[in-house]
Amino acid sequence: MSNKQKQESENIEALQRLMQTWILKMTTAAGSGHPTSSLSALHAMSVLFFGRAQDGSAFFHYDSAAPACTKNDRLIFSKGHASPLYYALWAAAGVVHQEELMTFRQFDSVLEGHPTRRFPLTEVPTGSLGQGLSTGIGEALALRACGSAARTFVLLGDSEMAEGQVWEAMAVATYYKLDTVIAIVDVNRLGQRGETMLGHNIEAYKRRAEAFGWHAIVIDGHDNDTLVHAYTEALQVRGRPVMIIARTRKGYGVSFLEDKDGWHGKVLNEEMLTRALEEIGPVDTSVRGEIALPDATCTESDIGTHDGIYSNLTSPYAVGESVAPRVAYGDALAAMCEVYRTVVALDAETSNSTKAEKVKEKTPQQFYEMFIAEQNMVSVAVGMARRGLRPFVSSFAAFLTRATDQIRMAQYAGVDVVFVGSHCGVSIGPDGASQMGLEDLALFGALRESTILYPADAVSTYALTACARACKGITYVRTTREALPVIYDKDEVFTVGGSKVVRQTERDVALVVAAGITVHEALRAADNLAQKGINITVLDCYSIRPLDTETVRALAQRTERVIVVEDHHENGGLGSAVCRALAGSAISIEHLCVRKPPRSGRSAQLLTYEEIDAEAITYVVENGIVER
């Protein structure tokens, strides 16, 4: 070992001792946290950050002054509860002041209990286990799309290896030959309530990783030299992702914590802290490490810089033509992908039904098959969006609810992602209840902020798909399976937060508010009633969130009677939105929705069975009551 290498080794060891003390002190000061889970992964992460190969090359390259640069390597702590280690690493790099570490978990601190984007170097919020590898894969795919060779490192805990999403992610990483993805599994044996499924059987982890097509490296996670060799080997692998399986001990470095059960999520009191610091021994509080900069000059940029400007996104459909809204979605998305290289389609092996396959036909490099693994698909989209892509994520509306937790976490990532659910409601017909999206509006409406669009025909679907691209945050577009008559001229303008009055007279006795397929049922009811001399207003509330509250209120006041009809369960959909808009008024509101357990049958049969068809609307208008 040369003098320089010896000095580097001694510097890392000094950093590791310093970080051990920081982790213990900051968690004791906070009164909560996960010090033992942080100590087990400390060696692996510090060698990644500050270690060097035999030839002097670095393993991790990052310019903290330009975090969005596509040349930067990426680090994701899927094991988000090890945040004390995460923040200590940046403090050791001189990015965070060591005094700031003592604000850990305080209300005004950006050093939150699990990493969030309030800390500016955090890639994605983590803490809900099993999602980090998927987001890392999304970032790696996005970096590849812009020609970057930057690597993505993901730290996983051994407990979260029981999550199915981890293996979904591993399968798709192999499929896309993502050799820029390097996962580090901290196998410390102990979970929250005892030993993990495999304990310290690291050979079992190795066999499983290799079975999924990964290059697996098994090491002692506390041996710095072994870690250096592992990272050196990992960076040389081509054609497949790498998993470094590190055998570690929870609470490493403190005798009364090390490999001891019952310490997960617990911190030391002051007396124990003193004992632990004495064991660690004297530390040099001035020592710092250096993260290598990327080889190329780093500037703040993303792959959206060279996007074109699309000024002619006009639908090709004619009034009276019969076109399924899902088909219009596919047409619109394919048209956008031809101009915007940042727009990408992710689909869960349903693209021939969602019609996202049209992207694969025209711009295959912008289509990503995620197979039947919706949880992984959503988190991959989050990672893509973090690196500048504009993902459109499509599947059956019912199956998107499988990824509820992933969608929930996406809202905290501060990313722009469009979700598109086809085959919604009972109107899909004979496939039956398992395929019917009847909770999807409630799911997306429950997010703190979201946009929900539910077009009624092909023209509006085409236009609103284009609108969705410009929306911030999480957007949901609900598309109908059935072919429906085109009711809007191709030049009609649709805006987020808007609505369309599609039938109105001066003598209307009720306002019928509908969206999607029930707009057509409401129009049929209006025709039926008109033959009897009864007139109604029909409002297409294609923007459910934000709702066109002003128009709803104004039209409701004209008739003082509102009937909401939707192909969705009672709670969380259009009816809930209209009730909120009219809260406090004396206006009568009746709600036609899916109340009975659905079954197989023709679309028309099911709409009649659930009493959300034209005949049901006609009856309610005429009789002023809803039969239960």
Closest CA to 500 of 451, 446, 450, 464: 464
Q: Quick one: tokens of 167?
A: 């293996």
Strands 535-540 and 588-594: unpaired
Q: Where are the beta strands (DSSP E) in 489-547?
A: 500-503, 508-514, 535-540, 543-545
Closest CA to 259 of 310, 312, 199, 308: 199
Q: CA 603, CA 324: separation in Å to the nearest integer?
A: 14
Instruction: Tell whether 508 and 468 lie within a shared domain.
Output: no
In a domain, 492, yes or no: no
Q: CA 594, CA 518: separation in Å to the nearest integer?
A: 12
Q: CA 133, CA 127: separation in Å to the nearest integer?
A: 12
Instruction: Tell whether 475 and 525 lie within a shared domain.
Output: no
pLDDT at residue 1, as a whole number = 61
In a domain, 558, yes or no: yes
In a domain, 306, yes or no: no
Strands 484-485 and 390-396: unpaired
Closest CA to 244 of 156, 112, 324: 156
Residue 294 is given by DSSP the state: P
Final residue in a domain of this structure, among 485, 518, 544: 485
Residue 61 is given by DSSP the state: B
Residues of the chain with pLDDT under 50: 300-302, 304-311, 625-628
Instruction: Tell whether 552 and 599 lie within a shared domain.
Output: yes
Instruction: Tell whether 460 and 340 lie within a shared domain.
Output: yes
b/e per residue 226-261 (b: at least 16 CB within 10 A): bbbebbbebbeeeebbbbbbbbbbbbbbbeebbbee
The alpha carbon of residue 405 and the mean position of all alpha carbons in its chain are separated, in whole angstroms, by 9
Q: CB neighbours of 340 closer than 8 A, spacing ≥ 6? A: 307, 308, 310, 390, 469
Q: For residue 162, how many other CB atoms are within 10 A of its CB?
A: 14
Name the catalytic one among 163, 374, 521, 610.
374
Q: CB neighbours of 554 closer than 8 A, spacing ≥ 6? A: none
Range of the domain at 447: 322-485
- For residue 177, the domain's CATH number is 3.40.50.970
Q: CA 11, CA 283: separation in Å to the nearest integer?
A: 11
Instruction: Tell whether 476 and 554 lie within a shared domain.
Output: no
pLDDT at residue 308, as a whole number = 43
Instruction: Tell whether 520 and 481 lie within a shared domain.
Output: no
Final residue in a domain of this structure, among 453, 485, 517: 485
pLDDT at residue 5, as a whole number = 74
Answer yes or no: are the C-beta atoms of 160 and 128 closer than 8 Å.
no
pLDDT at residue 626, as a whole number = 43
Per-position DSSP letters for 425-483, written without gaps between them: SGGG-TT-GGG-BSSHHHHHHTSSS-EEE--SSHHHHHHHHHHHHH--SEEEEE--SS-
543, β-bridge pairs: 453
Instruction: Tell whether 260 and 368 lie within a shared domain.
Output: no
Backbone angles phi, psi at 56, to 5 degrees: 90, -5
Q: Is 367 helix (H, G, I), strand (E, B) or coil?
A: strand
H runs (alpha helix) in 284-403: 325-339, 351-354, 357-362, 374-386, 397-400
Final residue in a domain of this structure, among 226, 251, 280: 280
Closest CA to 280 of 300, 256, 313, 304: 256
In a domain, 301, yes or no: no
Instruction: Tell whether 237 and 354 lie within a shared domain.
Output: no
**CB neighbour class for 221 (10 Å; exposed up to 12, middle 13-18, buried from 19):** buried
Closest CA to 266 of 199, 162, 193: 193
- For residue 520, the domain's CATH number is 3.40.50.920
Q: Quick one: tokens of 107?
A: 């209300």
76, β-bridge pairs: 154
Q: Which residue has the tokens 């509250």?
A: 549
In a domain, 299, yes or no: no
Q: Quick one: tokens of 289?
A: 């490490």
Instruction: Tell whether 262 and 396 lie within a shared domain.
Output: no
pLDDT at residue 309, as a whole number = 43
| Angle subtended at Cα 465 by Cα 308 and Cα 482, rounded to the nearest 5 degrees | 145
Clarify whether 168 is annotated catalytic: no
Number of domains in the chain: 3
In a domain, 150, yes or no: yes
Reported as type and span, the H/E element at residue 183 is strand 181-187
Q: CA 587, CA 18: separation in Å to the nearest integer?
A: 67
In a domain, 111, yes or no: yes
Q: Is 558 helix (H, G, I), strand (E, B) or coil?
A: helix
Instruction: Tell whether 530 and 593 lie within a shared domain.
Output: yes
Q: Is 103 helix (H, G, I), strand (E, B) or coil?
A: helix
In a domain, 495, yes or no: no
Instruction: Tell whether 14 and 157 lie within a shared domain.
Output: yes
Q: CA 468, CA 476: separation in Å to the nearest integer?
A: 8
Answer yes or no: are the C-beta atoms of 354 and 346 closer than 8 Å.
no
pTM for this one?
Answer: 0.96
Q: CA 184, CA 156: separation in Å to the nearest integer?
A: 6
Residue 291 is given by DSSP the state: P
Instruction: Tell whether 335 and 200 lie within a shared domain.
Output: no
